[in-house]
Structure 1
Amino acid sequence: MPTGTRLSVVVVTRERPHAPEYGAYSKLLLERAARDAARAGWDVDVVEAAVEGEHGVLRRTDGSDALVVLGGEDIAPEYYGAARGYAREGLHLEHADEAQLALVRRAVERSTPLVGICRGHQIINVALGGTLLQDLGDGSSHRHESVPVHRVMSDHDVELSAGSVLAARLGRRVATRSAHHQAVDRLGSGLRIAATAADGIIEAVEHERLPIVGVQWHPEDVGAADGQFVSILASVARAAALAA
């Protein structure tokens, strides 16, 4: 990746005074993603959706060569036609939801390369009219419950779909680190499944014709395979270059 290529990394927020341990871990993930992207030659700009709002996010990311939307809080269920009051429901930041949903829709309009991670993967689906499974229930293998935040990640393999952008870069089976209690349900317009877990949960999606990919796992986590985040980002950038 040539030096000077502009990458906007969009997070919900940097500050979580209501959840300091989770906030600290989220900052670590952001720092690792930004550092690895910079080492790969990207000029990284971090944007806080809850601070900037829709107008600010669209302004800050205007002209970016690629986008990454990282993880965070649950998306408010009103945006995918569901109700509140579900199991393990947490704080919602609708200001950030609106900004990130608008960002994805503009990326579709402009064919901007985009990678969504965890919540970002779900944001892609919801932005394109898809829905979410609101809670995977007790005994889910996709996160560790009732443990310190630094132990919440769960390790499991996913199967990548033949012919997918991700499989071309990562192979057909990938070891992943995840921490989520929700998942993609009905696919949004133009999306296809790019990876599944052994229990059938959708672990990645790709757009059928645009350089847009979402992964439910955390390739930027400290325990993830070395270089996995940069490889995913590079696969999307390469898909964009081939389509140009």
Structure 2
Amino acid sequence: MNEEFTNRMLAVVEVTTARPDRPAYHAKVQVLNSRVVADAETAGWVVTRVAAADVTADELLRITADADAVVIVGGEDVTPHFYGGSSGYEGETAHFATADEGQIALVQRAFALGTPLLGICRGLQIINVALGGTLVQHIDDGIHKNIDVPIDQILSTHDVTLAADSTLASSLGRVDITVQSAHHQIVDRLGVGLVPAAHAPDGLIEALEHVTAPITGVQWHPEAPDSPADQLALLLAGLADQHAIRALAESLAAA
């Protein structure tokens, strides 16, 4: 479909604008997040970029209220108490509970209103937690993240198999893809209405989507510089298609 819409608005929601204690990690995250913004603007979106840790949950909802679609990008682990977990686990990162609260509220509003939403890495985990799911707090297998390497080498390249009947496979135009990922947490219990949309070679869930709402999460980084060149563009085009379907339904309902 990919119809053009004047002033089509996309909210790109990151965790924080400052990590003074981890400059190398912050620089890496900024490269990834900036790619999402740049490619979305190239595709014709008007982008609002906001850091969820820098505002309250209510402010985040207000800032993104006019968004036609949302992308929640990567970052730190979700604070465990949001999914009934405990701190002190292996590989635990810094937590930004304010960002978690705001992004969870954003997913729940997107579900309620039918707003297209894409979660990338942490964004997938936020989707799952927001809809009542839980997370495996640590994996350390060398497939999903390169271990004991500098931050610039942390992304691992591996294959992923998409569910043939998934919206994600339709967007990407194939079921077997290569991705780059860098995560140490994964989906455990799926949130209400969510189904696996892709698996890694070890059987772990690498993507999920909602059975009725236009909500998709990918555990990998399509915005990474060395990811397949068309991957992010196709996912953004999928959001545009979902927005077009929603806009048409609203137009018909109002007629």
Structure 1: segments with no counterpart, 5+ residues: none
- 2:65 is matched with which residue? 62
Contact kept in structure 2, 1:165 and 1:236, CA below 8 Å: no
Q: Secondary structure at the match of 2:119?
A: strand
- 1:143 is matched with which residue? 145
Contact kept in structure 2, 1:3 and 1:43, CA below 8 Å: no
Contact kept in structure 2, 1:169 and 1:235, CA below 8 Å: yes
Contact kept in structure 1, 2:69 and 2:117, CA below 8 Å: yes
Residue 78, structure 1, aligned to residue 81, structure 2: yes
Report how many residues are paired. Answer: 243
- 2:31 is matched with which residue? 28
- 1:42 is matched with which residue? 45
Cα shift readout 1:165-185 (whole Å, capped 9, x = no counterpart): 111122101110000000011
- 1:160 is matched with which residue? 162
Within a 5 Å distance, the mapping from 1:1-244 to structure 2 comes to 1-137=4-140, 139-170=141-172, 171-242=174-245, 244=249
Cα shift readout 1:94-125 (whole Å, capped 9, x = no counterpart): 01110100000000111000000000000000
Q: C-alpha separation between the residues in 1 aligned to 2:31 and 2:245? A: 33
In the superposition, the TM-score normalised over structure 2's length comes to 0.93
Q: C-alpha separation between the residues in 1 aligned to 2:56 and 2:159? A: 36
Cα shift readout 1:44-96 (whole Å, capped 9, x = no counterpart): 11011000120111010001000000000000111111111110111111011
Say which is worse superposed, 218-227 or 117-126, in terms of deviation. Answer: 218-227
Q: C-alpha separation between the residues in 2 aligned to 1:181 and 1:3? A: 40
Write the letter of the residue equivalent to 2:179.
T
In the superposition, the TM-score normalised over structure 1's length comes to 0.97
Contact kept in structure 2, 1:124 and 1:214, CA below 8 Å: yes
Q: C-alpha separation between the residues in 1 aligned to 2:6 and 2:12? A: 16
Contact kept in structure 1, 2:136 and 2:185, CA below 8 Å: yes
| 1:3 Cα deviation from its structure 2 partner | 4.8
Contact kept in structure 2, 1:22 and 1:149, CA below 8 Å: yes
Q: C-alpha separation between the residues in 2 aligned to 1:18 and 1:208? A: 40
Q: 1:172 to 1:54 in 2, by over 3 A?
A: same
Q: C-alpha separation between the residues in 1 aligned to 2:156 and 2:224? A: 11
Q: C-alpha separation between the residues in 2 aligned to 1:150 and 1:90? A: 18
Write the letter of the residue equivalent to 1:86.
Y
Q: Secondary structure at the match of 1:41?
A: coil
Q: C-alpha separation between the residues in 2 aligned to 1:228 and 1:166? A: 11
Contact kept in structure 2, 1:219 and 1:225, CA below 8 Å: yes
Contact kept in structure 1, 2:119 and 2:217, CA below 8 Å: yes
Q: C-alpha separation between the residues in 1 aligned to 2:111 and 2:26? A: 30
Contact kept in structure 2, 1:54 and 1:99, CA below 8 Å: yes
Q: C-alpha separation between the residues in 1 aligned to 2:13 and 2:70? A: 7
